[in-house]
Amino acid sequence: MDKILHTLKTHMRQYAMVVALVSIMILFQILTEGILLKPLNVTNLILQNSYILVLAIGMLLCILTGGNIDLSVGSVAAFIGAVSATFIINMGMPVWIALILSLIIGGLVGAWQGYWIAYVRIPAFIVTLSGMLVFRGFTMVLLKGRTLAPFPESYQKIASGFLPDFLSSGGGLHITTIVIGLICSVLYLVSQWKDRASKQKYDFAVSSFPVFIGKMVTMMVVINLFTYWLAKYKGIPNVLVLLVVLILAYSFMTNKTIAGRHIYAFGGNEKAAKLSGVKTNRVLFWVYVNMSVLAALAGIIFAGRLNAATPKAGNLFELDAIAACYIGGASATGGVGTIIGAIIGGLIMGVLNNGMSIMGVSIDWQQAIKGLVLLFAVAFDVYSKSRSK
């Protein structure tokens, strides 16, 4: 019993938000009389929250560097949406060239802000607050206060398209999606098995075999049930493929690379990291370049889903991204947090938004409830730290 309690205490932060997400989904499934988890609505949840999840990935890296945040991401997303619309609609530029140029401009925005934060050492809050105002203004100037639309179909497919079904002649289930689910579950099992064997080889602590098997079975069921549910509507959205690639890439970077370890070290203790040879200014600079590139990508996704570039795009995106990271277990003081945690936090926010909208809850109450959820999540973080001391 003591061993079980110790294990639960050790993994409390890791699994608390998963339990919270499942609980919230069950609650809204009951309150919405089964609408929340219908295949159509599950797909809508992914499409509606994709750009927030992209922002949450970048925002987590900012928070890891010591609780820093980027308040400009919503304005940068709107600005890049306007830039891409100008390139494609007004200038007739090919979509792929416009997308590359838009992402490069996003990187330059991050370099501008990263320079002031990393090398001049102006607080990130001030620099990005300035950026929020500057790039919102640029968006208004570029669009002249008007909406620019429509985008070509190829641009729209980034945000609202679906993978074609190569294995079916049409109608019924999306067979390709089901096959992809089976492949992904097998790949997950193989990777986890190899990871466990590697840890055992070097005498690292691993969970007991029954617990490991239980976790594998649960995850394989979840993966295949999820893809089956998507297959009942139109299959896998293109933006979900993009999200999975980002999650895997950034999870690998934060957990398995020197750059990732440097980010965590920076957030844990900047002075100690600098004495250990970490180029702290460079780390901080590239974190903000990365954030703006992901903000640019989120802006492209949002504009593609809306099929228009508007001056009001990106409003409050930064608050949802910040909330997703803190709800997902990131520490307000930096150095603690995971990509998966940020994604779970973003999904919690998305389910809350979607469930309350289905129930007809006004936007005013939605904002108030999300604010309370954020407060309680940070309070849980503080409580957990005080208990561990």
H helices of 2-92, where?
2-10, 12-31, 39-64, 73-85
Residue-wise burial string across 188-218, b where 16 or more C-beta atoms lie within 10 A, e elsewhere = eeeeeeeebeeeeeeeeeeeeeeeeeeebee
pLDDT at residue number 66: 87
pLDDT at residue number 10: 47
CA 18 to each of CA 40, 205, 270: distance values in angstroms, whole numbers, following the listed order: 23, 23, 31
Bond from prior residue into 311 cis (ω within 30 degrees of 0): no
pLDDT at residue number 288: 96
User: What phi-psi label fits residue 257: left (phi over 0), alpha (psi between -120 and 50 degrees) or beta?
Assistant: beta
* Beta pairing partners, 309: 148
Domain 38-161+237-388, CATH number (from 1.10.260, 1.10.10, 1.10.357, 1.10.3470): 1.10.3470
| C-alpha–C-alpha distance, residues 52 and 37, integer Å | 20
pLDDT at residue number 366: 84
| C-alpha–C-alpha distance, residues 74 and 59, integer Å | 12
Phi, psi of 333 (to 5 degrees): -100, 0
| C-alpha–C-alpha distance, residues 334 and 337, integer Å | 8
Nearby residues of 328 by Cβ (< 8 Å), 6 or more positions away: 17, 56, 60, 337, 338, 340, 341, 342, 343, 344, 345, 346, 348
Looking at residue 146, what DSSP letter applies? S
pLDDT at residue number 167: 83
Nearby residues of 118 by Cβ (< 8 Å), 6 or more positions away: 281, 282, 283, 284, 285, 288
Nearby residues of 389 by Cβ (< 8 Å), 6 or more positions away: none
The alpha carbon of residue 339 and the mean position of all alpha carbons in its chain are separated, in whole angstroms, by: 7
| C-alpha–C-alpha distance, residues 357 and 354, integer Å | 5
| C-alpha–C-alpha distance, residues 382 and 329, integer Å | 11
Query: Which residue ranges in the chain fall short of pLDDT 50?
Result: 1, 3-4, 10
* pTM given for the model: 0.91
